[in-house]
Amino acid sequence: MKIPLTQKSLCGCCVIRERCLPAGLNDEEVLLLDQQMEHRLPIKKGALLYSQGQVFDSLYAISTGSFKTRILHEDGRSQITGFQLSGEMLGLDAISEERHVCDAIALEDSTVCKIAYDSLTNLESEINPLQRSFNKTLSKEIVRDQSIMLLLGSMRAEERVAAFLVNLSERYHARQQSASELVLRMTREDIGNYLGLKLETVSRILSRFAQENLINVQGRLITITDVKQLQLVTLSS
């Protein structure tokens, strides 16, 4: 399918293109994918992108901002299952059952790029790297889920918090953001819920890390001052 390359491609000039799009796409393929997407849809802080049980029809790439995903149990309890940053995909959980298994909530004013799942699957026959890239994305989600199981199942409280900060630092660095200065968009309570810890425990551990000069805490800004020692905490079992 030939497309005039004089048409403007929003994906082609996006600063997070390399995180959202498959590697190796030529300009024509980028434009082809670009034309199937709704770009930079605004989602206000605290708003739902989609809700648990909602019928699945689209996938979302986070253009700016961040989200948390949350499962609501029948007894009223909620469990945060992850925090997603720019360049990451939302909605993959719903592919098999065709309904979303969690809520996706904006942690700050954010924007997303939306593509209908049917359009994506149709493009796979025209864009060779697309299926391979999509499979890699699914694989990363599986690995992340396994990491969470390890985090919650075998680590002490201090190790969980240290691993969370190290992981966040690595993800910031991958986005060419500061790996040492972490602005936490999620609350301490959210972190505790995600890690299976009480709010008081998270706050106490962060204070202890600060006293040990591993980090510096100023409200939601956490500066990692000794990343190597923080990494060693995660390996102390």
User: Distances in Å between the alpha carbon of 151 and those of 67, 161, 169?
Assistant: 20, 9, 16
pLDDT (tens digit, 9 = 90+) per residue, 9-28?
677 677 666 667 666 677 78
Q: Which residues contact 196 (CB under 8 A, 6 or more apart)?
A: 152, 160
Q: Compute the CA torsion angle 15, 20, 22, 24 (nearest 10 deg).
A: 0
At 171-205, the pLDDT tens digits run 999 888 899 999 999 999 999 999 999 999 999 99
Nearest to 22 by CA among 141, 112, 143, 127: 127
Per-residue pLDDT of the chain (237 residues; tens, 9 = 90+): 444 444 556 776 776 666 676 666 777 877 888 888 899 999 999 999 999 999 999 999 999 999 999 999 989 899 999 999 998 889 988 998 999 999 999 999 999 999 999 998 888 778 877 777 777 777 777 777 777 777 777 899 999 999 999 999 999 998 888 999 999 999 999 999 999 999 999 999 999 999 999 999 999 999 999 999 999 998 875
DSSP state for residue 94 in the 8-state scheme: G
Q: Which of 37, 131, 141 lies closest to 90 in space, CA to CA?
A: 141
- Number of independent structural domains in the chain: 2
Q: Say if 144 falls within a structural domain.
A: no
**112 CB neighbour count, 10 Å cutoff:** 26
Tell me which residue range forms the domain holding 34: 11-131
The span from the CA of 105 to the CA of 41, in Å, is 14
Claim to verify: residue 106 and residue 170 sit in the same structural domain: no
> Rounded CA gap, 64 and 85, in Å?
8
Query: Could you tell me if 158 and 215 lie in one domain?
Result: yes
Q: Do residues 118 and 154 both lie within one domain? A: no
Which among 83, 98, 131 is the end of a domain?
Answer: 131
161 within some domain: yes
How many residues in the chain? Answer: 237
